[in-house]
Chain A
Amino acid sequence: MRFGADVVLDEVDLTLRAGEVHSLMGENGAGKSTLIKAITGVIPMDAGQLRVEGRQVRFSTPAEAQRAGISTVYQEIDLLPNLSIAENIGLGRERRRAGMLDRRSMTQRAREVLADLGLDIDPGSILGSQPVSVQQLVAIARAISADVKILVLDEPTSSLDLDEVGELFRVIRELKSRGVAILFVSHFLDQVYEICDRITVLRDGIHVGEYRTDQLLRIELVQKMLGQEGATLRERDPAPVARPPADPVLSARGISVGRRVESADVELGSGEVLGIAGLRGSGRTVLARALTGVTRIDAGVIRIEQTEESLDSPRRAMSLGVVYASEDRRRDGIVAEMSVLDNITLGLQAERGSFRRIPPERRRELAASWVDALGIRPPDLDRPVGTLSGGNQQKVLLARLLALAPKILVLDEPTRGIDVGSKVEVQHLVRSMADNGVSVVFISAELEEVLNVGDRVAVVRDGRIVETVDARSTTIDGLLALVARPDEGDGGQVSHG
């Protein structure tokens, strides 16, 4: 399958078998969502074919896919919070009597479907008055109340707690035993290994392969997702544990944010680059946000230069010299319509307050020096940032942050989505910032990059920092083993089927 000018998916194969739970795995931007949308008729395919039970089909709307027996439960619960559960299950395919809704049969049908799934929920209650987990199960009830052959679940567990996940899995197994093919997309490896029979791995829109869960070790799966192949699998270099810096600029102890980050300790030395490695959903971004006042911490102590501080807003963090660059630079970082000049001086102006203007000549001079120093191309101060390449946009964002003369810079995936050349430049830039005394937290999904840029690397898994290793003497395989949890490496032992 191909999509438009930007090839999002390139010749990807996916086979779902009746009565089987199939997982689609891949890092951010691997093309999972796009593939789901193509299967369910939300977006058209450029090439390729789709067969349901051997018959070739083509969907141009979600309704057509539904009629062919493909139902989808999206990540965001796509139901109507203002209507009753019965209506949410039955609306759009309800029976009518003389143009009137047959409410009684609709409620009856909903009750049957819910009971079928072993759920004791009042079908007359308004959906929005129910907890998220119930809403999720109602979404599944709707999906299967039609004649469903294929059920697509896109990150169904992301907002559920452990018990609720158990409940969901029970329903999935029930459907599986009835011969429904289930496509289960989740970034929680534990869950994938618990519920799935097969795994298809995507990377950068390319089909890496299809594997049986019980024949694929977790570490192999992560390797395939991250594209660190060719390494020897069995031989694992023990990663040397790094000693924390003696005199940390930033010291965070026991940081917890809900269940997404649990009692994490971070120490950052002066002029040091601390890499953070972890899969998506491991808590790496939440941790970065917690350290910079973007997300409030529920527990823990943050010390900046030995003084305990409460970072309750990004503004407070900035006044202490702690600056955060979001992973989503288009949304949280640059202002695409504004010029390079304005984008670079934006942060400075904010720091000075709205009423003390920076003289225009001074602003230009300042911005020009950063454009020069960072090698922003083209070196045109008045160009809207949106017209620059991704790498140069990232440099503009870095220039803005550096103009604030930060002590601590937290960069969340600063090289994501930029070309290889710019990537190397940004990496060098980060190193030279550190050499000039700025302490940097560098988050990346690419293990190689984290090892190259970082002095030490903290590995985040399931919301915990599992180890902090010395970057220079750690190999990619060693790091990979930590990221993927080698201690339970054999998938076959964990899956219950």
Chain B
Amino acid sequence: MTATTLDRPVRTQEKPSMLKTFLSRNGSMMPTFAAILILILLFAGAEAFLRGDFITPRNISALLLDNAYLLVLAVGMTFVILTGGIDLSVGSVMAFTGILGARMLAEGAPVAVTVPTMLLGGAAIGLLIGILVQYFGVQPFIASLAGLFLGRGLAYIVSLSSIKVEEPAILWLQSTRMSFGGWYITPTGIIALSAVAIAAFVLHLTRFGRTIYAVGGNEQSARLMGLKVGRVKIAAYTISGFCAGLAGLILTAYSGAGYPRNGIGTELDAIAAVVIGGTLLIGGRGYVLGSMVGVFVYGTIKTIISFMGAEQSWMQIIVGALLLLFIVVQRAIVARSDGRR
């Protein structure tokens, strides 16, 4: 090496191709594109199989209606998984807030008290899990497993059996159908889509959202960059808990009742939807819009199976296979990006 002058122009790279630029900017979107592709293939396959009876405004509208609660859970789960964590508690927290709301309404509490209590109850359990993870160094898996048992236990304390909801304001969420031709949407659907939109905004356009990604990318580096890692991680679990409370409200409206056995295993459905939607379980990479696609893939498979009149257990097998496929694809992506480092 010889002495170099300071003003020597360097690094004269050849102009990268459009595709290369796109990939270097958006490489992590690939799994989400794959999920969209699978959704399209599912629609096309079902349409061909059912001879044009599948893609109807009614079916598509029902897809959102039937999976609104799962979509809300997946939104919260996306925050947690992006930080590199996991939240197993959401299914039972949803059951707890649902039965709590039904019981409160049955005891005569006003809606204006009941609904905030449900949402904050969910958020409180999420906060607890976040604190366990952040300040007590408990593995997210274990901390949220504790949250799972806590939520289910609390649900049984509130009531051992189903409680019917008669409150019109709650039932309105589900029964109101805003129609556009053959299409319709319910307030629950609007809530779920709003959750996705707000989450997408927060994750991509606020410092908080970018810190979520930073923590998932490398927590230590994020801390060295002066980001508020602890606060953001706790917030992610709190958001997930809040979403579980919201899902409890939606499910109560959907089924017209609170039931303490609701949502057993639903946390796994939410995780599956998030992963199928292209969010990496190691954190830092993924999109909430992808999680929405994941939920629709999940819902579509369910619909197809019920259309075909097949056993619902096929649902589990197909979702399991898809999950496996996606995790392998993600491993490949991670291996590729690690290879560059």
CB distance from B21 to the nearest CB of A (A): 6
Cβ of B217: which chain A residues have Cβ within 8 Å of it?
80-83
**Are B1 and A169 in touch, CB under 8 angstroms?**
yes
Interface string of A102-140 (1 = CB under 8 A from B): 010000000000000011111011101111100100000
**Are B27 and A62 in touch, CB under 8 angstroms?**
no
Interface hits, A148-169 → B, CB 8 Å: 162, 165-167, 169
B51 at the interface (CB under 8 A from A): no
A174 at the interface (CB under 8 A from B): yes
Q: How far is the CA of A130 from the CA of B341 in the complex (A)?
A: 8
CB distance from B204 to the nearest CB of A (A): 8
Q: Which of A92-100, A226-234, A300-308, A405-413 contacts B (4 or more CB under 8 A)?
A: A92-100
Interface hits, B172-222 → A, CB 8 Å: 205-207, 210-211, 213-214, 216-218, 220-222
**Are A128 and B205 in touch, CB under 8 angstroms?**
no
**Are B4 and A96 in touch, CB under 8 angstroms?**
no
CB distance from A486 to the nearest CB of B (A): 21
A18 at the interface (CB under 8 A from B): no
**Are B205 and A126 in touch, CB under 8 angstroms?**
no
Q: Which of B8-16, B131-139, B149-157, B259-267 contacts A (4 or more CB under 8 A)?
A: B8-16
**Are B222 and A62 in touch, CB under 8 angstroms?**
no
Given known pairs A101-B207, A101-B210, the reply for A170 and B4 (CB within 8 Å) is: yes
For chain A, the count of residues having a C-beta within 8 Å of the partner chain is 49
B3 at the interface (CB under 8 A from A): yes
**Are A170 and B10 in touch, CB under 8 angstroms?**
yes
A357 at the interface (CB under 8 A from B): no
**Are A124 and B213 in touch, CB under 8 angstroms?**
no
Given known pairs A124-B25, A128-B340, A130-B340, the reply for A80 and B214 (CB within 8 Å) is: yes
CB distance from A202 to the nearest CB of B (A): 24
**Are B218 and A91 in touch, CB under 8 angstroms?**
no
Q: How many A-B residue pairs have CB under 8 A?
A: 121
CB distance from B146 to the nearest CB of A (A): 28
**Are A169 and B4 in touch, CB under 8 angstroms?**
yes
**Are B10 and A167 in touch, CB under 8 angstroms?**
yes
Interface string of B222-238 (1 = CB under 8 A from A): 11111100000000000
CB distance from A178 to the nearest CB of B (A): 10
Given known pairs A91-B227, A92-B226, A166-B1, the reply for A128 and B221 (CB within 8 Å) is: no
- With both beta carbons as reference points, the residue of chain B lying nearest to A139 in the complex is identified as B221
**Are B226 and A82 in touch, CB under 8 angstroms?**
no
- With both beta carbons as reference points, the residue of chain A lying nearest to B7 in the complex is identified as A118
**Are B21 and A174 in touch, CB under 8 angstroms?**
no
Q: How far is the CA of A118 from the CA of B9 in the complex (A)?
A: 7
**Are A94 and B207 in touch, CB under 8 angstroms?**
yes
**Are B21 and A122 in touch, CB under 8 angstroms?**
yes
Q: Chain A CB within 10 Å — which of B8, B9, B284 has the most?
A: B284
B19 at the interface (CB under 8 A from A): no
Q: How far is the CA of A167 from the CA of B13 in the complex (A)?
A: 14
Interface string of A391-433 (1 = CB under 8 A from B): 0000000000000000000000000000000000000000000
B317 at the interface (CB under 8 A from A): no
- With both beta carbons as reference points, the residue of chain A lying nearest to B339 in the complex is identified as A128
**Are A126 and B25 in touch, CB under 8 angstroms?**
yes
Given known pairs A91-B210, A101-B205, the reply for A80 and B9 (CB within 8 Å) is: no
B313 at the interface (CB under 8 A from A): no
A60 at the interface (CB under 8 A from B): no
Interface hits, B117-141 → A, CB 8 Å: none
A310 at the interface (CB under 8 A from B): no
Q: How far is the CA of A81 from the CA of B217 in the complex (A)?
A: 6
Cβ of B214: which chain A residues have Cβ within 8 Å of it?
80, 83, 87, 91
Specify which of A83, A96, A120 is in contact with B11 (CB 8 Å cutoff). A120
Cβ of A122: which chain B residues have Cβ within 8 Å of it?
16, 21, 24-25
CB distance from B229 to the nearest CB of A (A): 11
CB distance from A8 to the nearest CB of B (A): 21
A322 at the interface (CB under 8 A from B): no
A177 at the interface (CB under 8 A from B): yes
Q: How far is the CA of A83 from the CA of B340 in the complex (A)?
A: 15
Q: How far is the CA of A165 from the CA of B26 in the complex (A)?
A: 29
CB distance from B284 to the nearest CB of A (A): 4
Cβ of A497: which chain B residues have Cβ within 8 Å of it?
3
A435 at the interface (CB under 8 A from B): no
- With both beta carbons as reference points, the residue of chain B lying nearest to A194 in the complex is identified as B1
Cβ of A119: which chain B residues have Cβ within 8 Å of it?
10-11
Given known pairs A126-B24, A135-B341, A496-B3, the reply for A170 and B8 (CB within 8 Å) is: yes
Q: How far is the CA of A135 from the CA of B8 in the complex (A)?
A: 21
**Are B206 and A101 in touch, CB under 8 angstroms?**
yes
- With both beta carbons as reference points, the residue of chain B lying nearest to A121 in the complex is identified as B11
B17 at the interface (CB under 8 A from A): no
Q: How far is the CA of A132 from the CA of B220 in the complex (A)?
A: 19
Cβ of B2: which chain A residues have Cβ within 8 Å of it?
496
Given known pairs A96-B207, A100-B206, the reply for A80 and B28 (CB within 8 Å) is: no
Q: Chain B CB within 10 Å — which of A82, A100, A173, A194 has the most?
A: A82
Q: Can you give 9 contacting A-B residue pairs, CB < 8 Å?
A: A78-B224, A82-B213, A91-B214, A91-B227, A92-B227, A119-B11, A128-B337, A128-B340, A166-B1
By Cβ-Cβ distance, the 3 closest A-B pairs, closest first, are A80-B217, A496-B3, A82-B284
Known: A81-B284, A177-B6. 14 other contacts (CB 8 A): A78-B225, A80-B218, A81-B217, A84-B25, A96-B207, A101-B210, A122-B21, A126-B25, A126-B26, A128-B337, A132-B340, A135-B341, A170-B6, A174-B6
Q: Point out residues on B near A: beta carbons under 8 Å.
A: 1-4, 6, 8-13, 16, 21, 23-28, 205-207, 210-211, 213-214, 216-218, 220-227, 284-285, 337, 340-341
Q: Point out residues on A near B: beta carbons under 8 Å.
A: 62-63, 66, 74, 77-84, 87, 91-94, 96, 99-101, 103, 118-122, 124-126, 128-132, 135, 142, 162, 165-167, 169-170, 173-174, 177, 194, 496-497
